[in-house]
Amino acid sequence: MKRNLLGQPLTSDEVAMLESMAQHHHANFRPRALGLLALHEGESPKTVSKILRMSEQMVYEWARRWRERGILGILGGNVGGAPRKLTYEMLDYAAEVAKQEPMTLAKIAAKVRARYPEAKPFSEDRLSVGLHARGLSFKRTRLSLEKNGTTSISEPQSGHWQ
């Protein structure tokens, strides 16, 4: 007797939901829905993996996530990718430093690197994106943090150069 990888047989509502996902949902979720339906119908993980051109281990992973979290388990999926080089903690510190006084992006990056010497190397562009997400931005001509209500050093104060 084959063991049920999904824990217990799918209900008619679950089958209908997975069939709908297989037809109408985002392309990343269609194979998951089809795979779970095939497992429900009694297909082996090996057969499902060959048909969907996925690894057999991935089919087992879908079944495990379904058992543990139901539909949310297969919608979440694998985040993947490399770990963040600039953590939220590092970006919070960079924002604090940037708010203290006007300084260049390179100086802010140097202070972050000094505070977190064990951190992976990161680019100033990535730091700039992180600070921008926190509501901070930089002018290229001044290379310092923009502050509301201040003017750039390169702008004339009275409308003409003195």
Domain boundaries, the chain: 12-76, 82-147
Inter-residue contact 124 to 109 (CB < 8 Å): yes
Query: How far is residue 101's CA from residue 138's CA, in Å, rounded to a whole number?
Result: 13
What pLDDT does residue 141 have? 45
Query: How far is residue 52's CA from residue 26's CA, in Å, rounded to a whole number?
Result: 16
What pLDDT does residue 155 have? 46
pLDDT for 12 beyond 80? yes
Residue 61 token pair: 């992973």
Inter-residue contact 5 to 60 (CB < 8 Å): yes
What mean pLDDT value characterizes the chain? 80
Give residue-wise pLDDT tens across range 129-155: 889 888 887 665 444 455 554 444 444
Give residue-wise pLDDT tens across range 39-85: 988 899 999 999 999 899 999 998 898 888 888 888 875 656 677 88
What pLDDT does residue 10 have? 86
What pLDDT does residue 71 have? 82
Query: How far is residue 52's CA from residue 31's CA, in Å, rounded to a whole number?
Result: 7
> What angle is formed at CA 56 by the lines to CA 50 and CA 57, rounded to 5 degrees?
160
What pLDDT does residue 68 have? 87
DSSP conformation letters of 12-67: HHHHHHHHHHHHHS-TTTHHHHHHHHHHHTT--HHHHHHHHT--HHHHHHHHHHHH
Residue 24 token pair: 């109408």
What is the four-CA torsion angle of 129, 135, 138, 144, rounded to 10 degrees?
-120
What pLDDT does residue 3 have? 57
pLDDT for 90 beyond 70? yes
